[in-house]
Amino acid sequence: MRAILAVCLGLILFMTAAVSFSGEQEIVWHEVTFPSPDSGTVSADIYGSGDRGVVLAHGRIFDKVSWRPLALKLAREGMIALPIDFRGYGSSKAGDQENALYNDVLAAIAYLHESGVKKVSVIGGSMGGGAAARAAVESKAGAIDHLILLSPVPIEQPEAISAASILYVVSAEEGLFEAVKSQYKKAPEPKRLEVLAGDAHAQHIFKTSLGPDLTKLILEFLCAEIEH
């Protein structure tokens, strides 16, 4: 009896993790894996369907699951959301270049394009923001539609970023404020800088009273730009 109960509970937990309802709309997600350019393995969750996709790159203390609320909202807007686990997180594994996190972002971008997605955007926070920015330097022209960087770790040559449009977001009182402004100034046009009140850093903003505003900003930026 205990064994049967355990199996039933396991099935319930699996279903809860795989389906989310918003009104009458059901959002289903599942895990996928794909290789990185340096022969590593990237684990990701994929939400929704459509011909527009968004890669979500997490910060140091986060993981792919941390993006779930935003991923569900993106899916409800008709986009595919692909939050990844960086190498060393979850079941993702490093390749030949142990610390080359940008390769995991490049792998996710390639996965979506190879799956038939026409426009791929990238959102990265803190560590993931730096990896996303570096991926935008290393990627082929046209590979990244729009790039959203939440208090990104600084990279070399931000002027070499290749994306159709760039949005930097930073809190006015956080430690990376000046560094983010410097990166923004060097980045190519078209670009936009949004400075939010408070000292919350990157994904931590979602936990504050400004979380809904940040989510709205992201959705409006992606949807408005995609329509052009």
So what's the pLDDT on residue 15?
32
3-state helix, strand, coil in the chain (%, to 5): 40, 25, 35
Q: How would residue 163 be classed by pLDDT, with cut points 50, 70 and 90?
A: very high
Across residues 184-212, what is the average pLDDT? 98
| C-beta of residue 184 within 8 angstroms of C-beta of residue 129 | no
So what's the pLDDT on residue 164?
96
State which H helix or E strand residue 161 sits in.
none
Quick: pLDDT tens for 104-157. Answer: 999 999 999 999 999 999 999 999 999 999 999 999 999 999 999 999 999 999
Strand 19-22: give its sheet, edge to edge. Answer: 19-22, 25-35, 41-47, 80-85, 52-57, 119-125, 146-150, 165-171, 191-196
Any idea where the domains of the chain sit in the sequence?
29-227
Amino acid at 102: Y
Quick: pLDDT tens for 86-100. Answer: 999 999 999 999 999
CATH superfamily of 29-227: Alpha/Beta hydrolase fold, catalytic domain (3.40.50.1820)
Q: What SS3 class is residue 26?
A: strand
Q: How would residue 224 be classed by pLDDT, with cut points 50, 70 and 90?
A: confident
pLDDT-above-70 percentage for the chain: 87
So what's the pLDDT on residue 193?
98
Comparing CA positions, the residue from 33, 32, 30, 34 lying closest to residue 14 is 30
